[in-house]
Copies of this chain bind each other. A is one copy, B any other.
Amino acid sequence: MIRVGIDMMGGDFAPEEALKGVAHFLESDDHAVHIVMFGDSHLIDEHLSALQLPADGYTLVHTSQSIDMHEHPTKALKEKPDSSIAVGFQQLAQGNIDAFISAGNTGAMMVGAMFSIKAIEGILRPTIGAYLPREDGSLGLLLDVGLNADCKPEHLNQFAILGSLYAEHILNIKSPKVGLVNIGEEEGKGNLLAQATYPLLKSNELIHFIGNVEGRDLLINKADVMVCEGFTGNVVLKMAESIHDIIKRRNIQDEYFDRFDFEAHGGVPVLGVAKPVIIGHGISHHTSFKNMLRIATKMVESDLNGKIKESLSQIL
């Protein structure tokens, strides 16, 4: 049975929304999944009775500490060994859970992922992807979106492989089109990084490379996987998020822009680390938690990491 761990103390509405997400997941999901919740059992118990969770569907692991949204990641993880995030990663590393999700301190989640469970052998840099909604109803995957502010061409080439496998096995896109985020259409355009990355992607037989994608292509279905360093990716993602805020503020009702609600997509995967880890938005509500549980389950079920290892073995 798959065991998915969830940090109950993370996010702006902890633990209620996480708990509701778990309840909805257990109600609606066919999968044989056991949920392991990490958090303050007193706080959680208060809300548990109202939700009627199936007793055999979950385990509650009491943790006496929690890491605040604004704490320094490394310091917090060190000084709070009994925090929900620290214990979650410990259990993940020990194999007691198969995946771990949290909407808590993003930095602590990244540091935890990198140092507790390490990168998959051969992976130079784990990466974080994010979804970009497209007008045709599909989702594109942009990566990196902030974990790697400075990159080398080989890093982007690996992001392309990681994103491609995620798009194929988790987003169910056959032979996903991979594009290099760039400032021009033709090969040879762009900054030094993009210029040096293009030939690597072009000769990479593990991916379906379609060339450059420009800023204007990010929200259309030109490429399914869009690769860049984490600086540009983060600026683009946060601008896209702000567009959704503006749309809401201006009371614009539109099906497409509603999908700019990044929360709805349920967190972003950390790719390239040895176990599935998903990081949610601080503002996550129950739907988001439910979706994160689903994605984590799918990452385990599809053995995404096994497929990543297999792919890497073909080129290393």
Residues on A close to B: CB < 8 A? 135, 146, 149-150, 181, 183, 190-192, 194, 214-220, 228-232, 234-243, 245-246, 249-250, 252, 254, 256-257
Contacts and interface: CB of A to CB of B under 8 A. Distances in A.
B183 A146 contact: yes
Given A135-B250, A219-B246, 15 more contacts: A181-B235, A183-B231, A190-B231, A214-B234, A215-B240, A218-B235, A218-B239, A219-B239, A220-B242, A228-B235, A236-B239, A239-B240, A243-B243, A246-B256, A250-B254
B183 A230 contact: yes
Contacts of A219: 239, 242-243, 246
A250 B242 contact: no
Nearest to A145: B183
Contacts of A254: 250, 252
Contacts of A256: 246, 250
A218 B242 CA distance: 9
Contact of A231 (B146, B220, B232, B245): B232
Nearest to A195: B149
Given A246-B135, A250-B254, A231 B191 contact: yes
A130 to B, nearest CB: 11
A252 B252 contact: yes
Contacts of A214: 234-235, 238
Given A149-B191, A191-B149, A252-B252, A183 B215 contact: no
A164 to B, nearest CB: 21
